[in-house]
Amino acid sequence: MKTLISKYWLVLMALVSVTLFTACSSDDDDAVTPVFPQVQTFGGAAGTEFDFTFDANESWSLSSDKIWCKLVQGEKADAFVLNGTAGKQTIKVKITADDASKDMSVAQLFLNMGGQKVAIAEVKRSAAGYKLQVFDAAGNDITETGITVGYNVYTKFTVKSNYRFAVTNTPAWVDLEGGFLVGTPNKDAVGGVSFKENQGVSAKYAIAKDGNYTITFTSEDGKAAVTVPVIYNGMTTSTMDVTYPTSSQWAVWNVSLDGKVFTQNGSSLTGGDTNDFTFYNFVPFKLNTLNDEYQLVVFESKENGLFEDTSGAVKLKGEKGDVKLTIEPLSNGSREFLVYALPQSVYANFENGLDEMLENDFTSVKSDYDRYFLMDVVQKEANSSADDQSAAPTILKMNYLPVECKKDKSMYGSVISEVFGYNGDEIYVAQSEVGSSLTVNPNIKDWDPTTMMDTGYLTVMDSYGNDVYAEPSMDTNNNWVFFVKVPAATPIFMVFEDNGTPVKVLVVESPGEGMSKKHTSIRKIRK
């Protein structure tokens, strides 16, 4: 009997062990590492309420460590601890007069997730008697609702305060008019704010109040601080900023019948001359407009006027404004397109279709739409074959910003001949800052480096004769490209080879490099 009981006991313990192990393993597999938001700072006088937004990736609790700093969510008012589940949270924080002080008081909000407790906000209460309010141009109190940041214009606001203050903190993307703002007691102080580019956020997208961006107004004696939200509604709906592949917006382009070779033909719609550039398969553009919402508009130019093209021959491919313009093949003959990219809001306002863009008996586009123009392209049989190497390399800085490249052997022809043994005229010169990252497509037809691993396909050298690394890759159109970082010793020489024989050379200079420096560099590489 004891043996039987022992056997049952062993079986039972084994089952319990397996269950516990499985449960523990499952818990470990499902465990979520808590991710805490960055610390935010808020401030105001007693009676101030503000919204605090944060993201939680699991169940959470939020607590205040001061009696005068209270939390509100839904029906829960004047709480010191709130709880919730994963997701984006918006909590109202109330600054009360409890335990009032003649100095600034500071409270912290602590977030507890996954057994960890981290301070995620600091709340500053101004000393009793200190008061500051902010008003918009219409006289509305926006201290709690927020200052709206303008696009290409300073949005004005007025500060009324009973103490001497200065703006002590602004988000990096907010440009404070004049660079600073100070105020004196009981005297209006007028300021302005505008969007500042290249500060980690894009002008294309709106920034709501729940972004937790603020401007801080601090008293001279350090006893008061008021944080006012800043919001941004995005670019104006009619704005379209275009980065062109070359310096000439009005260049005329020729494209081959197969749609694979685009050549800026040296003429301009404005009557001037342009440089020759060649792109294979597509022409890159960067479009900046509100929320990346734009409409491609294409007119076909015929003898009797301009007509909306509905064939879909012209396409813009890409995301977030980084687009590639392509054209479908044409079996024979020729055709000409005028290509525009309109903000969606502009396009939606047409009541009578695209004819509203035209004038002069539908033979030309109104100048009002010049800012949306991309290119004039003529598709026809090329007069010369693209079988040779005569095409400028395509260069992108940071993999999106086009860099101009000019054919020019006058400056570097002799050194390239002496050092690299190349005596042809396929020498191209571009400029880019030291340290910049370039993506280079040599644009050599039917060129495949994988067949030249032993014989040689590329030599890259700086002005001191040092080798420069260029990482090979393939773009989305299966073209060979090379990633290279511009070194300090410029110019650099990229010598493209066909089984060890140079066929094309790209020289990259630093902007503003003068003749003397060029000659000095040449002497260096000759050594």
Give CA–CA dist 148/237, Å, rounded: 16
Q: What is the pLDDT of residue 268?
A: 56
Handedness of CA 134, 140, 146, 151 (dihedral sign): negative
Q: What is the pLDDT of residue 14?
A: 43
Above 50 in pLDDT, residue 24? no
Q: What is the pLDDT of residue 271?
A: 55
Confidence band of 18 (pLDDT split at 50, 70, 90): very low
Give CA–CA dist 436/400, Å, rounded: 12
Residues 253, 321 contacting (CB under 8 angstroms): no
Q: In sequence order, which residues have a C-beta less than 8 Å from that of residue 315 and are 6 or more positions away?
A: 296, 325, 326, 327, 328
Q: What is the pLDDT of residue 190?
A: 97
For residue range 279-300, list pLDDT tens digits in order: 888 999 999 999 999 999 999 9
Confidence band of 275 (pLDDT split at 50, 70, 90): low
Q: What's the order of all strands across the beta sheet hosting 277-280? A: 277-280, 261-268, 251-255, 373-379, 335-343, 294-302, 305-308
**In 3D, which of 245, 363, 351, 253 has the Cα closest to residue 301?**
363
Residues 185, 162 contacting (CB under 8 angstroms): yes
Lowest-pLDDT range, 131-135, 190-194, 271-275, 299-303?
271-275
Give CA–CA dist 302/476, Å, rounded: 34
What's at 112, amino acid-wise?
N
Confidence band of 317 (pLDDT split at 50, 70, 90): very high
Above 60 in pLDDT, residue 215? yes
Instruction: Give the 3-state secondary structure of residue 357.
Output: helix
Percent of the chain whose predicted confidence (pLDDT) is above 90: 66
Mean pLDDT for all residues in the chain: 86
Confidence band of 214 (pLDDT split at 50, 70, 90): very high
Domain 132-232: assigned CATH number: 2.60.40.10
Residues 99, 65 contacting (CB under 8 angstroms): no
**In 3D, which of 344, 243, 331, 352 has the Cα closest to residue 290?**
344
What's at 276, amino acid-wise?
D
> What average pLDDT does range 311-320 have in this prediction?
93
**CATH class of this structure's domain 241-379:** mainly beta
**In 3D, which of 258, 313, 238, 253 has the Cα closest to residue 284?**
253
Pairing of strands 225-232, 241-243: unpaired
Q: What is the pLDDT of residue 475?
A: 83
For residue range 83-93, list pLDDT tens digits in order: 999 999 999 99
Report for 29-33, 229-233, 413-417: range of highest mean pLDDT: 229-233
Confidence band of 26 (pLDDT split at 50, 70, 90): very low
Q: What is the pLDDT of residue 497?
A: 94
Confidence band of 265 (pLDDT split at 50, 70, 90): low
Domain 394-526: assigned CATH number: 2.60.40
> What average pLDDT does range 248-272 have in this prediction?
78
Confidence band of 30 (pLDDT split at 50, 70, 90): low
Above 80 in pLDDT, residue 1? no
What's at 285, amino acid-wise?
F
Residues 296, 285 contacting (CB under 8 angstroms): no
Give CA–CA dist 485/488, Å, rounded: 10
For residue range 493-521, list pLDDT tens digits in order: 999 999 999 999 999 999 876 433 444 44
**Before 502, cis peptide (omega within 30)?**
no
Q: What is the pLDDT of residue 9?
A: 42
Q: Which residues of 272-299 are buried (b: 16+ CB within 10 A; e: fewer)?
A: eebbebbbbbbbbbbbbbbebebbbbbb
Instruction: Give the 3-state secondary structure of residue 291.
Output: helix
For residue range 431-453, list pLDDT tens digits in order: 999 999 999 999 988 888 999 99
Give CA–CA dist 428/414, Å, rounded: 14
- DSSP line for 422-446: --SS-EEEEE--TT-EEEEE---TT
For residue range 359-402, list pLDDT tens digits in order: 999 999 999 999 999 999 999 876 533 344 567 899 999 888 88
- DSSP line for 146-171: -EEEBSSSPEEEEEEESS-EEEEE--
Above 60 in pLDDT, residue 4? no
pTM above 0.75, yes or no: no
For residue range 328-359, list pLDDT tens digits in order: 999 988 999 999 999 999 999 999 899 999 99
Lowest-pLDDT range, 100-109, 242-251, 376-385, 472-481?
376-385
Start-end of CATH 2.60.40.10 domains in the chain: 40-125, 132-232
Q: Does domain 40-125 have CATH number 1.20.1270.360?
A: no
Q: How many CB atoms lie within 10 A of CB 526?
A: 11
